[in-house]
A and B are shown apart, each in its own frame.
Chain A
Amino acid sequence: MRRIWAILVALSVLMFFFYRIMPTLPEFGNVEMFRKSTFDIIHKSTKGPYDAREFKKSKNLEEGSANVVTSIVVNYRSFDTLGEVTVLFISAFGAGLMLGSLRSNRRITFDEHNVLITASGVALPLIFLLGSYVFIHGHLSPGGGFPGGTILALGILLLALARNDFQVAGTKYVEQISGAGYVVVGLAGLAISGAFLANFLPTGTLGELFSAGVVPFVYALIGFKVGAELAGLISDLREGGA
């Protein structure tokens, strides 16, 4: 009986979306970019007139990262990203608080296996290398601070799965230092350029590693912060509040 009700509710929601929301959406794959504000963001000319940009040729733009999503996340909407990082911090903090108040010790133990222990020693440096590559090249290639930090935390998860006595320590300090570093970068922008989180370094040539001003630094800080938060969450869930 409950399943029938569930099917009816799901079908009514489906019908509502199909007949009320779908006709208001634009035709799939046929959006007019020239009418949108993101057209200015793509061509990195929100203040001045439109100008075509080219890879490895355009210099000293108002925003220099080749990945346009990164330039939105870390430059045009950087304050929003600061709030997003804060939300992630609060949720990891709440999880740690709640798991710390458990009465019983729910720490998971298992049989160690030699293959996984040896292989984790080989794979861990490569995983950390990939993670740091992803967040250092966040302004040039797909990726950035959030996926890079997640890859770092996955390395920690591999260690926690391989060794029974593995314990994570000191994630709080990494998290606090990188979170404070983000705010310090913002305040430096306020002091030098006159706006919170403004890009005060030269932006360089589009598509080179040392370009885009503060964006690589901010994304490295975000990567460390997200990695430390997720590693702390993994550790909390594994220890179960001992």
Chain B
Amino acid sequence: MLYDLSEMFREALSVPYYYLPLFLVSVGIYGIVSQRNLFKQLVSLGLIDTGVNILIISLGYIQGMEAPIYSAVTPIAKFVDPLPQALVLTAIVIGVGVLGLGATLLIKIHERYGTLELDELKFSKEHQRWQEIMDDEGDVGV
């Protein structure tokens, strides 16, 4: 049973992984263009981020090689390329920072305008500006 599973895993790895990141990036671009909700656009940005990370990792894969760690199982070097993995470690951390800061900006926008839908946001912005002009005129009158 275990042997079958590892065999299946190896077969799944032999499919070129370049197709998965392409798919993820185009789904993310579709989401950014089609959705009018800012939070959904942020999630689409995260999808593109994941797709690019998978692409970079799959550039360093070598058929039949192991994870780049010297251990009791792999005592001598028979490793895939570790440099893309180290770069992706950096990219994941930066992605977390972007996601956290983006979510904070969305909270701020929601506090100010009461919505995250772009159409309502436009309306609410104009409404607010109009109200500010009215307030100013009122001040002048007093």
Interface on A for B, CB 8 Å cutoff? 2-3, 5-7, 9-11, 13-14, 17-18, 22, 25-26, 28-31, 33, 36-38, 41-43, 52-57, 66-69, 72-73, 77, 80-81, 84, 87-88, 90-92, 94-95, 98-99, 101-104, 106, 140-142, 144, 146, 206-207, 226, 230, 233, 236-237, 240
Residues of chain B contacted by A84 (CB below 8 angstroms): 90, 93-94
Pick from A10, A33, A95, A141: contact of B81, CB below 8 A.
Answer: A33
Q: How far is the CA of A13 from the CA of B48 in the complex (A)?
A: 12
Please, which residue of chain B has its CB at the minimum distance from the CB of A52? B76
Q: Enumerate chain B residues within 8 angstroms of A13, measured Cβ to Cβ.
A: 25-26, 29
Alpha-carbon separation in the docked complex, A57 to B107 (Å): 55
- SS class, residues of chain A in contact with chain B: helix
Q: How far is the CB of B109 from chain A (nearest CB, A)?
A: 11
* Interface-facing stretch out of B1-9, B98-106, B120-128, B130-138: B98-106
A73-B89, A99-B104 given; name 4 further pairs at CB < 8 Å: A22-B18, A29-B61, A101-B108, A140-B71
6 nearest CB pairs, A to B: A91-B97, A6-B34, A29-B63, A55-B75, A6-B33, A10-B30
User: Is A55's CB under 8 angstroms from B71's CB?
Assistant: yes
B34 contacts across to A, CB distance below 8 A: 2-3, 5-7
Question: CA separation between A6 and B85, bound complex, in Å?
Answer: 32
- Please, which residue of chain B has its CB at the minimum distance from the CB of A8? B33
A-B contact list, 21 entries, CB within 8 Å: A5-B33, A7-B30, A9-B29, A25-B18, A31-B61, A31-B81, A41-B83, A54-B75, A55-B75, A66-B71, A68-B69, A87-B93, A92-B100, A95-B101, A95-B103, A101-B108, A102-B107, A102-B108, A142-B69, A233-B100, A240-B107
Q: Which residue in chain A gives the minimum CB-CB distance to B88?
A: A69
Give chain B residues whose Cβ lies under 8 Å from the Cβ of A41: 82-83
User: Quick check: A95 and B104 within 8 Å, CB to CB?
Assistant: yes
- Shortest CB-to-CB span from B67 to chain A, Å, is 7
Does any Cβ of A come within 8 Å of B115's Cβ? no
- Number of B residues, CB within 8 Å of A: 53
Smallest CB gap from A233: residue in B: B100
Chain B residues packing against A (C-beta within 8 Å):
13-14, 16-18, 22, 25-27, 29-31, 33-34, 36, 58-63, 67-72, 74-77, 79, 81-83, 85-86, 89-90, 92-94, 96-98, 100-101, 103-105, 107-108, 111
B89: chain A residues at CB < 8 Å are 69, 73, 144, 146
The answer on a CB contact under 8 Å between A104 and B27 is no
Given the complex, which residues of B lie within 8 Å of A14, measured CB to CB? 22, 25-26
Q: Cβ of B69 and Cβ of A141 under 8 Å apart?
A: yes
Known: A10-B29, A17-B22, A146-B89. A88 touches B107 (CB 8 A): no
State A199–B4 Cα separation when bound (angstroms): 44
What B residues does A72 contact at CB under 8 A?
Answer: 82-83, 86
Please indicate the chain A residues that have their CB under 8 angstroms from the CB of B31 in the complex. 6
Which chain B residues border A54 with CB–CB below 8 Å? 70, 75-76
Chain A residue with minimal CB distance to B86?
A: A72
B16 touches which of A28, A95, A141 (Cβ 8 Å): A28
